[in-house]
Structure 1
């Protein structure tokens, strides 16, 4: 990102605070927005992830009093799309404004606007260097069993990741040759770019693409990029209670950084295989249990299984309708706070497909004994 891009960003608007907001107000606004848009709280939401990055970027500047002061000075100079009263000369005539006063030229004695940009964005004005670059984030998928999702499990993940090319040792140059210093940026990876008038800012050098070096005879293996692909296997811990589709973040397990930058993150999307008996609703496990007509009508104590423990007994009251759900507390999936959800047991009255003679006579006798008003009479009005 060029310095012009940074200068045109309104970090106050990103955090939703006034330009005269106190540091405490800025910190409070950042925490609120960060919680609302954190990738861990909104897995798979790309828009929220981008908002979170913008919020973190804004707080990195405004949350630091020194950086904030420098940023405010820079924004003042860029007000109105240019440099305000400094463009072309001093207000009301007089000695023309010398751009070297800002950019540390021959008459400035150093410490001008270039130093402000250098301190704020790490470019150092004309003394710019290739900046450390964070490695890219990587996303992969892990498929686990239903019981493993409740208990937690460690899985092995095989990843194809970027690394230094083995053939050229990361230089990008063919064996027996070496890269040379970029003639356009003199090895710093940045060059001056005009933004209007006499003013210039630094941007990534297009000749070397920020590397500071130019390869005349590129490595045939990596085509001069200096990067290769290697397979690696890592052990990833999937926490207990993980849900299907949940995104697990492993910091520093992504692609390696450049110029000493930190590695990116690895995001593991968890796919949970279904269970033949149990289901899940949030932190609760679900179970459907068949019961007989006499158990529903007369009541019964019914033994039901649990996923990770011994069976439990559920008391079915007399007159229980089909579809009623009973709650067995503490037999569900683990929560982040260490507690557990519940087991939700739904009963379904089982109707036998056939009846022997004795059973048919018993049902007919029951029918005669409970004969009364039509239970469906209310459906047709009065």
Structure 2
């Protein structure tokens, strides 16, 4: 055995295929004529390529280990005009695969492939997002061709073997260079790598096996969702080429603004304006809840009672537990927060003005000096939000 391929690649005889490939990739990148500057780089590159051709192939490596000639006479007598001795050239595709750690698929590829995933957006009302619903959704996607059932061929015909690549799905080109014959493999231009051609394509889908169509699906919305949440519908996306399995459909939700409520996590916030007298004397006020937007909700759930304590100040927040948004994939509900805004009358008749004057005298408030009261940030934040909602 005149050539020690293991020594050329710098690996032991018991090296694994992964070790051999790694060693070859490192040497090939170092010695390739396009990057190497050493005078003997070209010759060393050819030896490394020959060593990998033998040791990278399980059958050739076994023959070599048993003392045989895996290159059919090329081991002892040079390269015979190419990298691979008697096989007529060096496959450059294998070099690229080894250098960049890739593995080029060989042979014909299937016409049937999985379809792409699809993303659509769906707008919900606040009550629908809070309590859950089922919404019809119209989508435009690729569907299985009804005429050919995904085969792509006209009725009574079928794909035939490609005459260019003879069913291999790829063609090989040989180019001579100063380092020998270089072979490159690429998908067949006639069949596009399928190995077969469809002489009589389906008139409905033009051979693709699928057509675009509108369809309506019902999407179940769980209670407690919010803007940005996505619902995953498996196998409801695009049907793949050749009638392949459908991809998945993702429905991204967007909750429309409500005219009364603002959502804060699982809480619902609203602003309620009350008269000055009600704030001073105290009262009970019935207000609608978010359930009022639901047609099938019980009447007793559509309203609730707010207790206004005597002397209530503007900006006071009354919290009603269990009246907010149901927690997504959990139990319980958030709060319904009602911020009370005290309205000062702007139009008074003579009698009303006189009554207020008498009240101010009784309270010794005819001459008032204002006082500054410090509040925490949370209070002002709630007050600011309340005014913003007016």
The two structures have a TM-score, normalised by structure 1, of 0.61
Q: Say whether 1:327 aligns with 2:319.
A: yes
- CA gap 1:318/1:180 in 2 versus in 1, 3 angstroms: same
Q: Is the 8 A contact 1:284 1:332 kept in 2?
A: yes
What's the counterpart of residue 229 of structure 1? Answer: 212
Q: Say whether 1:294 aligns with 2:277.
A: yes
Matched ranges for 1:28-177 at <5 A: 77-79=24-26, 82-84=28-30, 97-101=50-54, 104=57, 107-108=60-61, 126-127=106-107, 129-130=109-110, 133-175=113-155, 177=157
Q: Is the 8 A contact 2:114 2:246 kept in 1?
A: yes
Give me the whole-angstrom Cα distance separating, in 2, the residues matched to 1:224 and 1:131. 10
What's the counterpart of residue 48 of structure 1? Answer: none
Instruction: Give the gaps of 5 or more residues in structure 2.
Output: 1-15, 34-40, 64-92, 292-300, 374-390
The answer to which structure has the higher strand fraction is: 2
What's the counterpart of residue 269 of structure 1? Answer: 252
Which moves more between the two structures, 325-334 or 92-101? 92-101
Report the Cα offset of residue 333 of structure 1.
Answer: 1.0
Matched ranges for 1:243-282 at <5 A: 243-258=226-241, 262-282=245-265
State the SS of the aligned residue for 2:290: coil
**Residue deviations 1:343-376 (CA, integer Å, cap 9, x gap):** 1211111334532333221222334431344428
- CA gap 1:276/1:334 in 2 versus in 1, 3 angstroms: same
Give me the whole-angstrom Cα distance separating, in 2, the residues matched to 1:271 and 1:207. 47
- CA gap 1:217/1:130 in 2 versus in 1, 3 angstroms: closer
State the SS of the aligned residue for 1:362: helix
State the SS of the aligned residue for 1:341: strand
Which of residues 196, 203, 209 in structure 2 aligns to 1:213? 196
What's the counterpart of residue 330 of structure 2? Answer: 338
Q: Is the 8 A contact 2:317 2:339 kept in 1?
A: yes
Q: Is the 8 A contact 2:225 2:328 kept in 1?
A: no
Give me the whole-angstrom Cα distance separating, in 2, the residues matched to 1:237 and 1:354. 52
Report the Cα offset of residue 266 of structure 1.
Answer: 0.9
Give me the whole-angstrom Cα distance separating, in 2, the residues matched to 1:342 and 1:299. 22
**Residue deviations 1:29-71 (CA, integer Å, cap 9, x gap):** xxxxxxxxxxxxxxxxxxxxxxxxxxxxxxxxxxxxxxxx988
Give me the whole-angstrom Cα distance separating, in 1, the residues matched to 2:242 and 2:343. 69
State the SS of the aligned residue for 2:238: coil
- CA gap 1:349/1:94 in 2 versus in 1, 3 angstroms: closer
- CA gap 1:223/1:93 in 2 versus in 1, 3 angstroms: closer
**Residue deviations 1:79-100 (CA, integer Å, cap 9, x gap):** 58x5557997997997863443
Give me the whole-angstrom Cα distance separating, in 1, the residues matched to 2:261 and 2:289. 9
Which of residues 343, 346, 349 in structure 2 aligns to 1:350? 343
Q: Is the 8 A contact 1:171 1:226 kept in 2?
A: yes
Report the Cα offset of residue 248 of structure 1.
Answer: 2.1
Instruction: Give the gaps of 5 or more residues in structure 1.
Output: 1-68
Report the Cα offset of residue 236 of structure 1.
Answer: 1.4
- CA gap 1:201/1:250 in 2 versus in 1, 3 angstroms: farther
Give me the whole-angstrom Cα distance separating, in 1, the residues matched to 2:225 and 2:151. 43
RMSD: 4.4
Report the Cα offset of residue 78 of structure 1.
Answer: 4.0
Report the Cα offset of residue 235 of structure 1.
Answer: 2.0
Larger Rg: 2
State the SS of the aligned residue for 2:127: helix
State the SS of the aligned residue for 1:330: strand
Which of residues 280, 289, 292 in structure 2 aligns to 1:306? 289
State the SS of the aligned residue for 1:256: coil
- CA gap 1:176/1:93 in 2 versus in 1, 3 angstroms: closer
- CA gap 1:173/1:95 in 2 versus in 1, 3 angstroms: closer
- CA gap 1:174/1:359 in 2 versus in 1, 3 angstroms: same
- CA gap 1:267/1:284 in 2 versus in 1, 3 angstroms: same
Matched ranges for 1:159-198 at <5 A: 159-175=139-155, 177-183=157-163, 185-187=165-167, 189=169
